[in-house]
Chains A and B, each alone.
Chain A
């Protein structure tokens, strides 16, 4: 009887499309920057999204009912953390999997986060999806595998690359480049000379955003006696006012003292605290320069890229340059245009440039 069914009838044709998607309608490239505090994506359909690297699961059935979801992501998860088991699966730059940690939970959270990030790209079902993920340079092989595994569930083919490499590639700076990526948990310095960076090309510091939050918290405790505040409030203040050089208008923050909002002048406190990350960074730069081919050391010093959320600290590029002049004799630092999307944009560019046969082989 099947023969007769091919016999079309006006009421029964035009039914195609109900079948599984054939991926013939385009290729979507996604660049992913899997960060400690923030995961960003940039895609070839113009979509750019960023989500806080946090995943929460309702603690119990009641919480689940109330929240109406099984998984919460990003800021929403952070906001409702009291009724959630909250994971920040990439804290400290790598997938947490040490003893004592809930490594299974972290792994699951990392997977969920990555899949959420890819969902944010709004891929059409009928498009091929190829993704490049910029992972923290120091992620272990175990971590990398977990990341790839998670991504493969939602894309057609995926590759990992080191995040600082993605940043530099995005700007077409292919070799003799030093990338400083100031994130939340870590500041990653990476030297590039044509091929993939090796361990010797990378230095990871914990002088980064979270460190500054802690230091500012302490400094505020001293500078604003009697005031009540949380680390999150400090972070918000930092993101609004952080600067290290040049002049700033007077920074006045309102902090509650015995419940009453009270103004405190913190201009110098903010500046001096933010400056704390400069010496370790300049020192690390010095190490990477000194161990480089002497013939190209000057060139390297003149090609320093500043990226990551922390690079938004006003005047930081100038300040690091000054530090380099003092310690290394010369230096030129350029802050990338879009610090938040630098890694994702670079990963997107790599995805675009990757030859077809490579994608095919990794499917």
Chain B
């Protein structure tokens, strides 16, 4: 937990307290006091909050999913297939096999996704449920602890006010921390779902690609990347050309004739 919170708790406790002397207390008929150091109070609160947080964290899930491995393997296998296309027949067969295996992988991934989503939803609900119970218990504990603490301090009638304010401060702070934990948990859950979703999309994409290749294999057209042009950029007449002017005129007249042709088009 942040270092700062300890100090803040101390400040808050100090603010809530009031200053008095032993004489003044005697005058009020109070002869004995139990002294609790401000450090002790803040440590108490700190521990309470900390423990709450810890409990929440312990609920956490392991994000090291293994679903990604399936996607990776599929990908590697697919690349290999692309490289080693020895014959159309082979490509076709492999593509079909690949497709089947990808299909089943997609299906199982979809299954997993659903299961996981359900699990996550359950976890979320359980988390909420348990939090409610735990929170109530903790609140109760805290109230008791503070009551006892202040009771021992024998602060008298004024003590009730202090107790009230102290509790609302502590509980408020505790609540803030709880919210933070909740948000963090929420994020974790979402990330998990996202991750799986993305992997699923990836495998689905691979499946699409495979289906495309299968189609090509069936129609006898293997995918061909084509032959690269020797030009990386648009060329155009070189100004170094000895017949530059003449050629430029010719190019312009061809262009104009085509422009006219295409304009008549529309």
List the B side residues contacting A25 at CB < 8 Å.
228, 232
Choose among A9, A44, A130, A144 the residue that contacts B198 (Cβ–Cβ < 8 A). Answer: A9
Is residue B23 contacting chain A, with contact meaning CB distance below 8 A? no
- The answer for the CA separation of A123 and B226 in the assembled complex, in Å, is 5
Using an 8 Å CB-CB cutoff, how does the interface string of B179-205 with A read, 1 for contact, 0 for none? 000000000001100110011001001
Return A24 CB to nearest CB of chain B, in Å: 9
Interchain CA distance A121-B90 in the complex, whole Å: 26
Q: Within the complex, what minimum Cβ distance (angstroms) separates B221 from chain A?
A: 10
Chain B interface size, as a band, is 35 or more
Q: Is the CB of B261 within 8 A of A194?
A: no
* Given A4-B190, A11-B202, A354-B251, A144 contacting B231 (CB threshold 8 A): no
Quote the shortest CB–CB distance from B112 to chain A (angstroms).
Answer: 15
Q: How far is the CA of A44 from the CA of B235 in the complex (A)?
A: 11
Chain B residues contacting A11 (CB-CB under 8 Å) are 68, 71-72, 198-199, 202
**CB closest chain-A residue, reference B234:** A356
In the complex, what residue of chain A is closest to B220 when comparing beta carbons?
A: A68
* Closest residue of A by beta carbon distance from B206: A18
B242 to A, closest residue via Cβ: A172
Closest to A47 in B: B227
Contact B226 A124 (CB under 8 A): yes
Please determine whether B262 and A28 come into contact, CB atoms closer than 8 angstroms.
no
User: Would B72 and A45 count as touching, CB distance under 8 A?
Assistant: no
**Contacts A27-B234, A28-B229, A44-B229 known; A174 to B250 CB distance under 8 Å?**
yes
Residues of A within 8 A of B220 (CB): 68
User: Is there contact, CB below 8 Å, between A18 and B72?
Assistant: no
A161 within 8 A of B: yes
- Tell me, in angstroms, the Cα distance from A281 to B166 when the chains sit together: 114
- Asked if B258 and A362 make an inter-chain contact with CB atoms under 8 angstroms apart, the answer reads yes
A343 to chain B, nearest CB (A): 15
Report the minimal beta-carbon distance from A71 to chain B, rounded to whole angstroms: 12
A353 nearest CB neighbor, chain B only: B237
| Chain A window 135-149, contacts with chain B (Cβ cutoff 8 Å), 1 for yes, 0 for no | 000000100110011
Q: Are B246 and A45 closer than 8 Å at their CB atoms?
A: no
- By beta carbon, the residue of chain A nearest B67 is A11
Q: Are B227 and A26 in contact (CB under 8 A)?
A: no
Cβ of A12 under 8 Å from chain B: yes
Which A31-57 residues have C-beta < 8 A from chain B? 43-47
Contact B233 A1 (CB under 8 A): no
Within 8 A of A (CB), among B95-118: none
